[in-house]
Chains A and B, each alone.
Chain A
Amino acid sequence: MILVLKRCIAALTCILLMSAAQAQELAENLYTDYKEVLYQIKIIDKESSQKSTIGSGFLINATGLAVTNYHVVSDYILSPDKNHIEVEDISGNKSLASLVSFDVVNDLALIQIELSTASEIFLPIAESLPTQGTTIYSLGNPHDLGMIVVPGTYNGLKKHSFYQKIHFTGSVNSGMSGGPVINESGHVIGVNVASAGNQLGFLVPLSKLKALVQHDSIIQTSDYKKVIAEQLTENQSELIKQLSTNEWPSTRLGMANVPDAMSEFISCWGDSNVDNQDAQFLSVRKSCSLDQTIYVSNRIQTGHVGTQFQWFSSDKLDRNRFYQLIDQRMNMHQQDFAHKQDFSEYECQLDTIKNKHDVQSKSALCVKSYKEFAGLFDIVYVSATIDQDRASLISQLNINGITQASFEKLVPRFIDAVSWQ
């Protein structure tokens, strides 16, 4: 019996080793088969003739149409007069490329490489996503070292996310951005979107890539910023529509009822100072946010939606001191790295509000506009209730890249979502 078991184990180990070896072999084959279609993409600053960004890209047809990430070519898109796109194949042959179109929300861009002769091989786009658990291969050009292949596992689409992403276990480094992810038959199923130091990679999925390729229109250089604004506006309108048409679950925080995660793609965290024996007041915090932002430029990340509720109560501080504490806490803000070139300064209004549940609060609303992308705004809404004896709820809503129309849909709902128990 034991002998049989031993044999079985030996056989199993053998199979496992063989499959690992097979995967290794396949990766090597893929590398030799497809290295011709991989390009290193550089954005070259015309003035200094030096590269400002580097990433990967790959051919998807014989005439030189290639896919990369929006963030790889964003320097060119935002300042087309200052930069140009240069591509380099695996043998080091350099050529120029022009921008065809892009999708800022899903971090994709299509470029046209100037080929001297039509390429014999290119990466076709897969018909459908593979089954979960299948081995897939991420190809790219990490840290300017040359092309590499990273095998990993396809783990399905990321759950509870507004932005669809493939969940890939394998390490995707920053220079691999824009490289293809292919299945075993060499068809593209996604594009690398790397953030440095990630052991878990997220990839732009097939559907977004297909949509961009099928759209088949060239964006004019003068329209780049207008198109970015349009894409951002369309995306956030959809986001706010989903957020504001949902029924918001309610949860208890201190004596208040506050909205819980406003949608399944919003995730929440919480903490409190209950364990601090010396604290003169109780502070309980619940914060929720969308798990992802949209990269627009190295100075602008947008698309953030976040809420924060902080409950304060005290039986040690007197009323004057307690509300002095609330005053101080309400005026505290997270660091903001906005730049003068990109945004106006915040314009604020302050008022005392009684919402539809008769919750009275001191509320401030601040709005700043995007200088390059007309019609988009960042908003901050902060309020502190002032109708309890020595207890107060500070609510905060931050939305980046919102239109006035969406603001008018979402914010009153947020204000009216707070009630006393």
Chain B
Amino acid sequence: MAIVVQTLSRSKTILAQQLVQSSSAVIGRGFYSDIRIDDPYVCDQHLSIAVDDDKRIWIADKGSLNGMKVNGKSINQASVGPEDVITIGQSHFRVFVASQAIAPTKKLNPLDTSLESISKKRYFAILMSLFIGFALLEGYFNTFTELEYSILLSNVLSGLIALCIAPLFIGLLSILNKKEAHFITQFNLVLIGMLAISIIGYFAHFINFNLNSPTVISLLETLIFWLMLSLGFWLMLYVAFHQSNGKRALITASFVAFIVCIQLLPTLFNDRDYVELPPIDASIMNPSALITSSSSTQAFMSDAQGLFDSASDNDQN
């Protein structure tokens, strides 16, 4: 019968694990102990462990100076299982039999395989070039003076630095948690997200240019942005930490709620907020992109009737 002893940190994460191939053992600071704990508050032979015929583990204090605690309660002798935390001196550990049943093995899911596949460096290179290309193009389209390529490039590069913050931060956190950083995957996820947001932005501009409904489209665009943000952040957490699904969902929800609050709070609960300027977003683009037909002056004027009614209605607010 083998016994497993897991040394734990104060926050119950496993620091070390030892296997004793016997049905009894002694834990202490002495060098002849089966499990040696280098803690000045632990005695030479502090406690003994024994497995009975029913495969239950019994622990007993061997007359130590500082005693022992099981789940925070001082006790001299106890039967313990894999859930109980034993404290002697300032050290914590669990003791259980090695034949203890474990959770069934998880099958690798398709998400893991796809995440594995985007961790390739060549994808990173492709995505990074695409991102820089897009950013340069956007800078080019929005410059109406003579183009200064050096300024354009420096703007794009400073944008890139800002973009590095999230993957580096999460990668470092996962290293601190003794997990692999997966920097390339994290970067690729962020780049895919940014590219998707740009493309959706262009698409929304195109749709608005043709359908002339800026309010609905910008609302949809914002919703899609929040959705993408949730998805991206969830995936980054999935790659970085082996959290439970519930915990990951909770962290993602709190993060996205925080961002949504930052965006909405200035207007949502502010009664004094008043927009003086006409909120015109014509979304004009290259006229070749116009695929819908035009209205006549009369049609435009008859649509305008409703504006007067809604302006009169909302003056009560």
B-contacting residues of A (Cβ < 8 Å)? 278-281, 317, 319-321, 323-328, 330-331, 333, 335-340, 343-356, 360, 362-371, 374, 377, 380, 382, 384, 386-387, 404, 407-408, 411-412, 415-416
Q: Note all chain B residues with C-beta closer than 8 A to A364.
A: 278, 280, 282
Q: A278-B146, A365-B304, A412-B301 are in contact. Are A353 and B295 (CB under 8 A)?
A: yes
Q: Note all chain B residues with C-beta closer than 8 A to A377.
A: 308, 311
Smallest CB separation, B203 vs chain A (Å): 15
- Interface residue tally on B, bucketed by range: 35 or more
Smallest CB separation, A240 vs chain B (Å): 15
Q: A353-B295, A367-B304 are in contact. Are A343 and B315 (CB under 8 A)?
A: yes
Q: Is the CB of B314 within 8 A of A344?
A: yes
Q: Is the CB of B300 within 8 A of A353?
A: yes
Q: A319-B286, A355-B297, A364-B278 are in contact. Are A324 and B141 (CB under 8 A)?
A: yes
Q: A352-B295, A355-B297, A415-B297 are in contact. Are A346 and B275 (CB under 8 A)?
A: yes
Q: Is the CB of A360 within 8 A of B276?
A: no
**SS of A interface (majority):** mixed
Q: Is the CB of A330 within 8 A of B280?
A: yes
Q: Note all chain B residues with C-beta closer than 8 A to A340.
A: 272, 274
Q: Is the CB of B300 within 8 A of A363?
A: yes
27 CB contacts below 8 A, A to B, read A324-B141, A324-B142, A324-B284, A327-B283, A331-B281, A337-B276, A338-B274, A340-B274, A344-B311, A346-B311, A347-B307, A349-B300, A349-B303, A350-B212, A350-B280, A353-B295, A353-B296, A353-B297, A360-B294, A364-B282, A366-B278, A366-B279, A377-B308, A386-B290, A407-B304, A411-B304, A415-B301
Q: A320-B141, A339-B274 are in contact. Are A350 and B287 (CB under 8 A)?
A: no
Q: Note all chain A residues with C-beta closer than 8 A to B305.
A: 404
Q: Is the CB of A352 within 8 A of B278?
A: no
A136 CA to B140 CA, complexed, in Å: 64
Q: Note all chain A residues with C-beta closer than 8 A to B144.
A: 280-281, 317, 321, 324-325, 328
A-contacting residues of B (Cβ < 8 Å)? 140-146, 209, 212-214, 272, 274-288, 290, 292-301, 303-308, 310-312, 314-315, 317
Q: Is the CB of A323 within 8 A of B284?
A: yes
A341 CA to B140 CA, complexed, in Å: 43
Q: Is the CB of B294 within 8 A of A353?
A: yes
A95 CA to B116 CA, complexed, in Å: 90
Residue of A nearest to B306 (CB): A349
Q: Note all chain A residues with C-beta closer than 8 A to B303.
A: 349, 351
Smallest CB separation, B220 vs chain A (Å): 16
Q: Is the CB of B311 within 8 A of A412?
A: no
Q: Is the CB of B315 within 8 A of A371?
A: yes
Q: Is the CB of A367 within 8 A of B145?
A: no
Q: A344-B312, A344-B315, A350-B212 are in contact. Are A321 and B140 (CB under 8 A)?
A: yes
Q: Note all chain A residues with C-beta closer than 8 A to B297.
A: 353, 355-356, 412, 415-416
Residue of B nearest to A360 (CB): B294
Q: Note all chain B residues with C-beta closer than 8 A to A367.
A: 304, 307-308, 311
Q: Is the CB of A345 within 8 A of B314?
A: yes
A380 CA to B282 CA, complexed, in Å: 14
Smallest CB separation, B302 vs chain A (Å): 10
Smallest CB separation, A350 vs chain B (Å): 4
Q: Is the CB of A369 within 8 A of B140?
A: no
A360 CA to B293 CA, complexed, in Å: 10
Q: Which of B272, B296, B306 gathers most chain A CB within 10 Å? A: B296
Q: A351-B212, A353-B300, A377-B311 are in contact. Are A331 and B282 (CB under 8 A)?
A: yes
Q: Note all chain A residues with C-beta closer than 8 A to B304.
A: 349, 365, 367, 407, 411
A311 CA to B292 CA, complexed, in Å: 25
Residue of B nearest to A278 (CB): B146
Q: Is the CB of B280 within 8 A of A382?
A: yes
Known contacts A338-B276, A369-B312, A370-B315; 6 additional CB pairs below 8 A are A324-B142, A333-B278, A347-B311, A349-B212, A407-B304, A415-B297
Q: Is the CB of A333 within 8 A of B280?
A: yes
Q: Which of B209, B290, B300, B312 gathers most chain A CB within 10 Å? A: B300
Q: Note all chain B residues with C-beta closer than 8 A to A326.
A: 284
Q: Note all chain A residues with C-beta closer than 8 A to B274.
A: 338-340, 345
Smallest CB separation, A395 vs chain B (Å): 13
Q: Note all chain A residues with C-beta closer than 8 A to B282.
A: 327, 330-331, 350, 362, 364, 382, 384
